[in-house]
């Protein structure tokens, strides 16, 4: 635990353990590097998918899964298996549409990165689709 005095400001009781930070006065932030990178990877996946030119129905299905993954990744302590299941659903929809074959490396690369970040959860779900 550390106390920082900056000019007249007093930012006291800052705890930084594994990316969690608690600030006196009730402000709490939790964002590990892996969580932030996962959020960025989901956003990148969405950008890559948008450029595929999928039919509206298939794009909607994929985006619904990406929305759910993004929503779970945004909570204070995301459940890795829930995020992975949503991303695996998106990957399955892309695969069924034939888009993983024609997608080039962008989408596949982003989904593989998400698999790495999610560890065993990603390997058990997303990796089986790719």
Each residue's pLDDT, cut to its tens digit, for the chain (130 residues) gives 444 444 444 444 333 334 444 444 444 445 687 889 999 999 999 999 999 989 999 999 999 999 999 999 999 899 999 999 999 999 999 999 888 876 567 899 999 999 999 999 999 999 999 9
Cβ atoms of 41 and 87 closer than 8 Å? no
In angstroms, the CA 120 to CA 21 distance is 26
Q: How many residues does the chain have?
A: 130
Write down the pTM of the prediction. 0.74
Contacts of 11 (CB under 8 A, 6+ apart): 3, 4, 5, 23, 24
């Amino acid at each position: 635990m550390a106390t920082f005095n900056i000019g007249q400001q007093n930012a006291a009781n800052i705890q930084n353990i594994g990316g969690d930070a608690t600030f006196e006065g009730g402000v709490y932030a939790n964002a590990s590097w892996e969580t932030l990178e996962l959020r960025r990877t989901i956003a990148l996946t969405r950008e890559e998918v948008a450029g595929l030119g999928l039919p509206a129905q298939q794009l909607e299905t994929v985006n619904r899964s990406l929305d759910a993954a993004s929503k779970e990744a945004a909570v204070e302590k995301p459940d890795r298996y829930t995020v992975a299941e949503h991303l695996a659903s998106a990957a399955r929809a892309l695969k069924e549409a034939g888009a993983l074959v024609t997608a080039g490396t962008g989408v596949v690369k982003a989904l593989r990165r998400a698999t790495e970040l999610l560890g065993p959860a990603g390997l058990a779900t997303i990796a089986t689709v790719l």
